[in-house]
Amino acid sequence: MSSIAIIGQGYMGNTHASAWASAGLAKDIKYICTPRPKEGSVAAAVNAKYISDLDTVLKDSEIKYVSVCTPTPSHKEIALALLSAGKHVLLEKPIALNVKDAEEIYEASKKSSGSLMIAQVVRFFLGYQELHKVAESGELGTVLSVHARRFSPKPTWATWLGEESQSGGMLVDFSIHDFDQLNWYLGEPVEVFTVQSSPTGPAEVTIKYKKGGVGQVHSFMNASNGVPFTSTIDLLGTQGMAHYEFSAVSATEESSTGNNAGVNSWHVFSSKGNTVNQIATDDPYGRQIKYFYDQASTGGKYDQTPTPSALWALKVSLAAKQSLKEGRPISI
């Protein structure tokens, strides 16, 4: 029998549990492991036992799949223990708060009889996936530049996100999704420069790439309460352009991950014509969990979300923070 454990019982722990449920595996969630267990705090984990001791998860041979949904400073210790025990680990982004820890986790995954996937969930949003397919098809020609935007009111569902020592701050925990997207299209980043209007204001990050491309990421995590969670991405190629936009119905980030989109559409403009495509429903977290489970259970390699891509996204995030602090471009 193969069972599931979720480490963490907060917002992301609940999100992962719901995703496991959407994959038809809610009854297989055996443990919710957290320092201060609260019975029933993860509604979708209908059969789970709430425990505080990670050793129980490590020693239970039935546990094959583990979602790690804890504050980032705990990732290294938990991931190394799970990988050493041969578990298949779905680790929430960012992989770590520094490159040394991230590389240590990655190296441990290579030696483990289990496996590691970093939960870069934006790669599983239908709109982002469709734009990537268009770019891969060659319809846009060579992608020259990518511009991404991500706005949100200040998160209220996890207080630790507001503590830079715990989350890494906006450029690490929030913008990392968009840095990952830019790297996906443009390749290896070589230089990063950041400007910000004020310590809590919007930030604009410009990234230069080895092959000559350029990208920009515009982030704001302190919008007024009336502003809905919004993300967009624009691709400009030698033969066309493409655009994806998502905005939630309300200002709560919770509604940004389900089917409650106010806007959810992608557009392509090329020599083949202009198309506008609406996305009626989406379940990116469910799609991510199913991909992880399918790959882990069959010995797959997580080609859609390779760990080196998470390392590169972290390197850009940290360079963006350093650039902002020092007021100069940072070479990677």
pLDDT in tens, 254-302: 444 444 557 899 999 999 999 999 998 899 999 999 999 999 999 999 9
Domain match, 108 and 140 both: no
Would you say residue 50 lies in a domain? yes
Q: Tell me the average pLDDT across 208-232.
A: 93
Of 29-33, 193-197, 246-250, the range with the lowest mean pLDDT is 246-250
Q: List pLDDT tens digits, range 34-55.
A: 999 999 999 999 999 999 999 9
Residues 137 and 254 in one domain: yes
Q: How far apart are CA 49 and CA 27, in angstroms?
A: 11
pLDDT at position 254 is 42
Can you give the CATH number for the domain in which 61 is found? 3.40.50.720
pLDDT at 257: 45
CA distance 242 to 233: 8
Integer Cα distance of 230 and 251 in angstroms: 9
Q: Which of 82, 103, 119 is the last residue of a domain?
A: 119
Q: Which of 155-169, 200-214, 312-326 has the lowest mean pLDDT?
A: 155-169
In a domain, 303, yes or no: no
Check whether residue 153 and residue 37 sit in a common domain: no
Given a cut of 90, whether residue 1 has pLDDT beyond it is: no
Per-residue pLDDT tens over the stretch 61-95: 999 999 999 999 999 999 999 999 999 999 999 99
Is residue 148 within 8 Å of 246, Cβ to Cβ?
A: no
Number of domains in the chain: 2
pLDDT band at 250 (very low <50, low <70, confident <90, very high): low
- What is the number of alpha carbons within 13 Å of residue 69 lying toward its C-beta? 24
Q: Which residue has the tokens 């198309």?
A: 275
| 41 found inside a domain | yes
Same domain, 140 and 223: yes
Are 319 and 312 in contact by the 8 Å Cβ rule? The answer is no
Global pTM exceeds 0.75: yes
194 in a structural domain = yes
Where a domain ends, among 63, 84, 119? 119
* Separation CA 97–CA 180 (nearest Å): 15
Residue 309, domain member (yes or no): no
Say what percent of the chain tops pLDDT 70. 95
Asked if the structure places residue 188 within a domain, the reply is yes
* 156: nearest Cα among 19, 253, 16: 253
Assess if residue 238 is contained within a domain: yes
Same domain, 222 and 176: yes
Same domain, 72 and 165: no
| 161 or 99, which is more confident | 99
| Segment (H or E) for 149 | strand 143-153
Q: Are residues 137 and 153 both part of a single domain?
A: yes
Measure the CA–CA gap between 77 and 71, rounded to whole angstroms.
12
Question: Rounded to an integer, what distance in angstroms lies between the CA atom of residue 262 and that of residue 256?
Answer: 9
Q: What is the pLDDT of residue 225?
A: 78
Looking at the fold, whether 94 and 132 belong to one and the same domain comes out as: no
Is there a single domain that holds both residue 130 and residue 102?
A: no
Same domain, 106 and 127: no
- Looking at the domain assignment, is residue 296 inside a domain? no
Q: Is the pLDDT confidence value at 253 over 70?
A: no
Task: Pick the closest to residue 141 from 226, 213, 237 (CA basis).
Answer: 237
Provide, rounded to the nearest whole percent, the portion of the chain with pLDDT above 90.
Answer: 84
Check whether residue 62 and residue 207 sit in a common domain: no
Compute the radius of gyration of the chain from its Cα atoms: 19
- Separation between Cα atoms, residue 222 and residue 229, nearest integer Å: 11
**Among residues 50, 10, 53, which one has the least CA distance to residue 30?**
50
Amino acid at 202: P
Residues 64 and 51 in one domain: yes
Q: Which of 93, 119, 145 is the last residue of a domain?
A: 119
The answer to whether 166 touches 173, Cβ cutoff 8 Å, is no
Tell me which residue range forms the domain holding 45. 3-119
User: What is the per-residue pLDDT for 261?
Assistant: 57
Per-residue pLDDT tens digits for 96-110: 999 999 999 999 999
For the ranges 194-203, 217-226, 269-278, the lowest mean pLDDT is seen at: 217-226
Distance CA 62, CA 77 (A): 21
Alpha-carbon span 284 to 258, nearest angstrom: 8
Residue 189 has pLDDT above 60, yes or no: yes
Q: Which CATH number covers residue 190? A: 3.30.360.10
Task: Label residues 30-66 b or e (16+ Cβ within 10 Å = b).
Answer: bbbbbeebeeebbebbeebebbeebeebbeeeebbbb
Q: Which of 179, 186, 184 is nearest to 145 (CA)?
A: 186
Nearest to 44 by CA among 63, 64, 18: 18
